[in-house]
Amino acid sequence: MTVSFDFFYQAIRAKQEFIGPHYHPCYELVYYVNGHGTTRIGQEQYIFSSGDYAIIAPCTVHEERATSQLHVMFTGLISSDSPPLVEGVYRDAPSRPILHLLHKLDFGLQNKRSMYKQMLNTIASELFIELFRTHPSEETDDRGDIIRYAQAYIDEYSLQKVDLQSLAAQYGYSYDRFRHLFKEKLGVSPTQYILLRRLERAKTLLLHSPLQVSVIAMECGFSTDAQFCSLFKREIGVTPGQYRMLVEPIIVNS
């Protein structure tokens, strides 16, 4: 089993603060130290309070709303060959083992003593094991593996034309059944997942390259720059040009 540390943050959220739909390429653990609110993970809605934590699988779309002032800690765990964790919101044990390990991560990051990166990976492994032992996977068939294989294929070829009908047939499913399983696992349809991957790549190119918008549209798999601009504004809230202008001062001064 290989688990490594990706990120760790703490935040104080104001009452009614809303964190919109987003996803991460790694597992995310969100710990609610104080306060309460609601979160949607994929298609499931949860209520949380102090001492609860959420497990969110890679690329699952999720969102969060604080219904009181909220102290939250969240960390990312990268797992390449480990058994899957079960998504959901759970209650930490009375001895707070999950919170204790998060404090260890925070301490390691603050102090940065020799070999601290290796230490963070060790703590991340402890955390992953504790989560898995507390909530073992009940997956009894290979459907979860099939969706992970399909996800990996789409990740590799998302900037090209992906024949989802053929991909579903390759794994022995009709497209409708494949779409249902994919959305059940990741919270979005295969088509929406491809769009999100393309937009993430487009955002990177807008921020870190001088390429024209029309060229970025082609690079990221969109049929026309008009289609790209329309979908970008629908999903991100601004046009590609506006997005680039908003962050341009940051790039120039960096």
What is residue 207's DSSP assignment? Answer: H
Determine which of 34-48, 132-146, 181-195, 230-244 has the lowest per-residue pLDDT on average.
132-146
**What pLDDT is attached to residue 71?**
96
How far apart CA 232 and CA 219 sit, in angstroms, is: 14
Confidence band of 83 (pLDDT split at 50, 70, 90): confident
Between helix 175-186 and helix 143-157 the angle, nearest 10°, is: 90
| CB count in 10 Å sphere of residue 165 | 11
Confidence band of 80 (pLDDT split at 50, 70, 90): confident
How far apart CA 213 and CA 205 sit, in angstroms, is: 9
What's the whole-number mean pLDDT along residues 182-187?
86
Phi, psi of 57 (to 5 degrees): -75, 160
More confident residue, 151 or 249: 151
Confidence band of 246 (pLDDT split at 50, 70, 90): confident
Amino acid making up residue 56: I
**What pLDDT is attached to residue 250?**
41
Tokens of 131: 């989560």
How far apart CA 18 and CA 99 sit, in angstroms, is: 23
The enclosing H or E element of 244 equals helix 240-253
Closest CA to 124 of 40, 34, 26: 26
- The string of pLDDT tens digits covering residues 147-178 is 888 888 898 889 999 999 988 887 778 888 89
**What pLDDT is attached to residue 137?**
60
pTM for the whole thing? 0.57
Look up tokens 């032992």; give the residue: 133
**What pLDDT is attached to residue 63?**
95
Closest CA to 202 of 174, 177, 164, 233: 233
What's the whole-number mean pLDDT along residues 68-89?
88
> What average pLDDT is seen over the chain?
88
**What pLDDT is attached to residue 254?**
37
Tokens of 103: 């404090």
Give the CA-trace dihedral at 117, 122, 128, 130, to 10 degrees. Answer: -140
**What pLDDT is attached to residue 245?**
84
How far apart CA 38 and CA 250 sit, in angstroms, is: 33
Report whether 41 contacts 54 (CB < 8 A).
yes
- The string of pLDDT tens digits covering residues 123-133 is 999 999 999 88
What's the whole-number mean pLDDT along residues 67-87?
88
Tokens of 148: 């992970």
More confident residue, 91 or 134: 91
H helices of the chain, in order, are: 97-111, 116-134, 143-157, 164-170, 175-186, 190-208, 213-219, 225-236, 240-253
**What pLDDT is attached to residue 249?**
45
**What pLDDT is attached to residue 149?**
83
Q: How many CA atoms lie within 13 A of 125 on its CB side?
A: 12
Confidence band of 114 (pLDDT split at 50, 70, 90): confident
